[in-house]
A and B are shown apart, each in its own frame.
Chain A
């Protein structure tokens, strides 16, 4: 039985090529799945407690169950937009082991009754997109994609669609709009994409890492998967550590691994001569943790209890040599630039806060400005059309709360 779920072949040269992948046991999961009934696969997925690895953490098996049995074409959209700052895990998966992702796509599509899948990849990942297209072409050649896959009677077409540089298009409904050729503005929910999605048809949208777990779950079973993590939160996560550590990079570890261990044991601890100040545990939208708050298991619920979130499991390590005002500036600049502009609080709020922080960074700020930022961010939180507003407000509020003294000292 494999030790790792996702990264066992990383480092093996050419595993992105289908012949090497098959030599390592690739596409066995597809062969096995196509012999099972879709309902059986769905049951197994629900038992595995695979929660979405995009950021929201929604149970994958449950989401698939939402797709209604209607006489309309169904679609699968793979969210490869990877826009959350600090996150680079999906890039590794798609560059090193694209076929693992394709297997997950095929099994999911077979389970839900989907015959058309789109991989929405951010435009900046051009090299990765080319590798994906290569892999897809190889899969077609070998009969793992296209009509009557492995004589099972199941058809599936997969294509790659490049984004054009908008963080908002990582939000599932904005992704659908962009895929349809329209402005990447999010849609009102309800209705949810599972019933009204791409081209108004039922659509399943899943993150790259989530899908990549599926082949191993099919091969080794749900219990094996939950055994690697926690009962309610199965499997491993690829933690992407960046910042002032000795060994930044990706680390596949069981869900529930302590953040302290990830930083000090796996990532080699702080860089020579640097001291820890703060950690952003789940991508830039996650509220920041102070240096004395990092003794915490990295799973969805523990982080929610600590008033933060696991998100995309991107761990950004900040040292005492970095000004939190600079961090705040980076945060507000990002969100005001990426706001789609559809709804009032995010469009104007992120820009207003950014203007204030820029002024503060130029030395023309006052204590009242910090109060204003908190007030404005609170007016954004929970009032926007899509989660980008919350993603902007949460880090701003957490930095202003936990590092207020430092911000005041830098005015």
Chain B
């Protein structure tokens, strides 16, 4: 450990730490543009220059390592002047695009000018004119005039994806970043480029001109689109008081998690968020002509409970069938296991998930099952659903999720389901499949509820709701806890489960894998 002073504040840091990181741990932020935690220091923007006692010139905080007894000043006159100087240079050749630039509100240049600049422009010459709407590949648009040549994008493609589509051309003031000879950016991580660009040079068509960043709220979540479970930030619009907005979720950004996805997410996870808003089921649908009022969950829960009790009196194990999926959280799978496998001794429990698809060498897994490990550890043996097993002497079918349609053909499914007396579906989206069920209950998706998922490496990741589920949708755990209470075996046990956290605590007590992970 090394003892240093930053702005007269004493700090203890490990040897080998840079001044920039040491300051960060002490809550002192030193402005920087080209530095990014994912890459070794570049030292080209010169924004992070600080004064170190005993050294004649200002030094870079991003690449200078601390030494015992070092005294650093991040706000001295010399430093303030140097920062203003660098800002002035950057802004001199930077186009005044703020009113039309997507990065506004999120832009480092704006932020630093606001904090360290506030001077009038002294530039009286003509700014360099360059390409402004270059399509450089996938959904990225590059504006060479806005580019401050921090080279984060070049370094990302060289060190992370190792595809090197971008390079710097020419030298001096004519330097510009662009793609080599007709080889556009074409990899599964291109979206990260727009995220790491500190200014609006690389922007995303997916977000272009749709909204302003200051209208958006941010929430932390986990991506469920494969088994990696990358940490993400969901940016959504809470709506205006007098008129609506066309969509709720506007953007997914990656969130740092050194144990799962590092700093990045893949393009599939980044751009595949339309399912959160499109075709949502938001009220209970009844396709059975016997009901003639719009029921609530209370009504439906009593109905299901009645059916379960009826079957319980007969030989229960072969009468009820459950179809589950791995989008269900650990808490939900635990409740299902307890209520149906434990309390009611059900054997016929199947899984229907999205089929396997392509993977890549980095984060994307071939499996599209966000909680498969959780299901296995909970004690399920993950039998896939098939039409024969479904209809064989089945009186009650409880299905979770609409992935059945992806595994069994529509014709086979219709035939199988016709033979079942009562069919209940818990799903989040409208789907052709829904009309085959008697009762369809709207469910909340991962950003709309709390819980935890276990990823492909066995890492348990907790998540909290980012926004409310639409309409009458409810999280599955809430409905399951209610069913468990109503069934009668051990009502007080299920009655305790008022939040996902209480369920999680119980899982830690009962299930060995989760107890060990604590």
User: What residues of chain A lie closer than 8 Å to B126, measured between beta carbons?
Assistant: 355
Instruction: Tell whether, in the assembled complex, residue A345 and residue B171 are in contact, meaning their CB atoms are under 8 Å apart.
Output: no
Q: Identify which of residues 322-348 in chain A touch chain B, using a CB-to-CB cut-off of 8 Å.
A: 336-345, 347-348
B43 within 8 A of A: yes
Chain B residues bordering chain A, tally (CB within 8 A): 36
A183 within 8 A of B: yes
Instruction: Tell whether, in the assembled complex, residue B43 and residue A385 are in contact, meaning their CB atoms are under 8 Å apart.
Output: yes
Bound together, the chains give a CA A293 to CA B122 distance in angstroms of 35
Q: Identify which of residues 293-339 in chain A touch chain B, using a CB-to-CB cut-off of 8 Å.
A: 336-339
- Of B44, B125, B174, which one neighbours A352 at CB under 8 angstroms? B125
Q: With A188-B41, A382-B57, A383-B86 known to touch, is A341 a contact of B63 (CB < 8 Å)? A: no
Instruction: Tell whether, in the assembled complex, residue A355 and residue B149 are in contact, meaning their CB atoms are under 8 Å apart.
Output: no
Q: With A341-B149, A359-B125, A385-B46 known to touch, is A347 a contact of B173 (CB < 8 Å)? A: yes
Binding-face segment, B87-95, B210-218, B279-287: B87-95
A116 within 8 A of B: no
Bound together, the chains give a CA A336 to CA B123 distance in angstroms of 16
Instruction: Tell whether, in the assembled complex, residue A344 and residue B58 are in contact, meaning their CB atoms are under 8 Å apart.
Output: no
B389 within 8 A of A: no
- Of A188, A340, A344, A356, which one neighbours B45 at CB under 8 angstroms? A344
Bound together, the chains give a CA A11 to CA B315 distance in angstroms of 115
Q: With A356-B125, A379-B82, A383-B85 known to touch, is A347 a contact of B46 (CB < 8 Å)? A: no
Bound together, the chains give a CA A350 to CA B90 distance in angstroms of 13
B49 within 8 A of A: yes
Q: Identify which of residues 247-302 in chain B touch chain A, using a CB-to-CB cut-off of 8 Å.
A: none
User: What residues of chain A lie closer than 8 Å to B43, measured between beta carbons?
Assistant: 188, 343, 385
Q: With A188-B41, A337-B172 known to touch, is A345 a contact of B46 (CB < 8 Å)? A: yes
Interface-central residue, A168, A338, A339, A344, by most chain B CB under 10 Å:
A344
Q: With A359-B125, A379-B82, A379-B89 known to touch, is A347 a contact of B58 (CB < 8 Å)? A: no
- Of A183, A338, A344, A350, which one neighbours B86 at CB under 8 angstroms? A344
User: What residues of chain A lie closer than 8 Å to B123, measured between beta carbons?
Assistant: 352
Instruction: Tell whether, in the assembled complex, residue A344 and residue B172 are in contact, meaning their CB atoms are under 8 Å apart.
Output: no
Q: Smallest distance from the beta carbon of B479 to chain A beta carbons, Å?
A: 58
A372 within 8 A of B: yes
Q: How many A-B residue pairs have CB under 8 A?
A: 91
Q: Identify which of residues 192-214 in chain B touch chain A, using a CB-to-CB cut-off of 8 Å.
A: none
User: What residues of chain A lie closer than 8 Å to B45, measured between beta carbons?
Assistant: 343-344
Q: Identify which of residues 58-91 in chain B touch chain A, using a CB-to-CB cut-off of 8 Å.
A: 58, 60, 63, 81-82, 85-86, 88-90
Q: Smallest distance from the beta carbon of B449 to chain A beta carbons, Å?
A: 47
Q: Identify which of residues 38-55 in chain B touch chain A, using a CB-to-CB cut-off of 8 Å.
A: 41-47, 49
Instruction: Tell whether, in the assembled complex, residue B168 and residue A183 are in contact, meaning their CB atoms are under 8 Å apart.
Output: yes
Q: Smallest distance from the beta carbon of B28 to chain A beta carbons, Å?
A: 21
- Of A183, A336, A372, which one neighbours B172 at CB under 8 angstroms? A336
Bound together, the chains give a CA A384 to CA B125 distance in angstroms of 23
A349 within 8 A of B: yes
User: What residues of chain B lie closer than 8 Å to A336, measured between beta carbons?
Assistant: 172-173
Q: Quick one: closest A residue to B89, CB to CB? A: A348
A351 within 8 A of B: yes
Residues of A in contact with B, size category:
20 to 34
Q: Smallest distance from the beta carbon of B489 to chain A beta carbons, Å?
A: 68
User: What residues of chain B lie closer than 8 Å to A135, measured between beta carbons?
Assistant: none
Instruction: Tell whether, in the assembled complex, residue B57 and residue A344 are in contact, meaning their CB atoms are under 8 Å apart.
Output: no
Q: With A341-B149, A343-B44, A385-B44 known to touch, is A351 a contact of B85 (CB < 8 Å)? A: no
Instruction: Tell whether, in the assembled complex, residue A341 and residue B175 are in contact, meaning their CB atoms are under 8 Å apart.
Output: yes
A166 within 8 A of B: yes
B148 within 8 A of A: yes
Interface string of A351-388 (1 = CB under 8 A from B): 11001100100000000000010000001001111000
Q: Identify which of residues 84-129 in chain A touch chain B, using a CB-to-CB cut-off of 8 Å.
A: none
User: What residues of chain A lie closer than 8 Å to B175, measured between beta carbons?
Assistant: 341, 347
Q: Quick one: closest A residue to B60, CB to CB? A: A188
- Of A340, A352, A384, which one neighbours B92 at CB under 8 angstroms? A352
Q: Smallest distance from the beta carbon of B151 to chain A beta carbons, Å?
A: 8
Q: Quick one: closest B residue to A381, CB to CB? A: B57
Interface-central residue, B90, B149, B168, B173, by most chain A CB under 10 Å:
B173
Interface string of B91-128 (1 = CB under 8 A from A): 01100000000000000000000000000001111101
User: What residues of chain A lie closer than 8 Å to B174, measured between beta carbons?
Assistant: 341
Bound together, the chains give a CA A355 to CA B175 distance in angstroms of 17
User: What residues of chain B lie closer than 8 Å to A344, measured between beta carbons?
Assistant: 44-47, 86, 89-90, 148-149
Q: Quick one: closest B residue to A166, CB to CB? A: B171
Q: Smallest distance from the beta carbon of B105 to chain A beta carbons, Å?
A: 23
Q: Smallest distance from the beta carbon of B66 to chain A beta carbons, Å?
A: 14
Instruction: Tell whether, in the assembled complex, residue B57 and residue A348 are in contact, meaning their CB atoms are under 8 Å apart.
Output: no
Instruction: Tell whether, in the assembled complex, residue B172 and residue A347 are in contact, meaning their CB atoms are under 8 Å apart.
Output: yes
Interface residues in chain B, defined as those with a beta carbon under 8 Å from any beta carbon in chain A? 41-47, 49, 57-58, 60, 63, 81-82, 85-86, 88-90, 92-93, 122-126, 128, 148-149, 168, 170-175
Q: A341-B172, A345-B85, A385-B44 are in contact. List 20 more A-B contacts (CB 8 A).
A: A336-B173, A339-B173, A341-B170, A341-B174, A342-B44, A342-B149, A343-B43, A344-B86, A344-B89, A344-B90, A347-B175, A348-B89, A348-B90, A350-B172, A352-B123, A355-B125, A379-B85, A379-B88, A379-B89, A384-B46
Q: 10 tightest A-B contacts by CB?
A: A379-B85, A341-B175, A351-B173, A355-B125, A339-B172, A348-B89, A188-B43, A341-B172, A343-B44, A341-B171
28 residue pairs bridging A and B, Cβ less than 8 Å apart: A166-B171, A183-B168, A336-B173, A341-B149, A341-B168, A341-B170, A341-B172, A341-B175, A342-B44, A344-B45, A344-B47, A344-B90, A344-B148, A347-B175, A348-B89, A348-B90, A348-B92, A348-B93, A348-B173, A350-B173, A351-B93, A355-B125, A359-B125, A379-B81, A379-B85, A382-B57, A383-B85, A383-B86
Interface residues in chain A, defined as those with a beta carbon under 8 Å from any beta carbon in chain B? 166, 168, 183, 188, 336-345, 347-352, 355-356, 359, 372, 379, 382-385
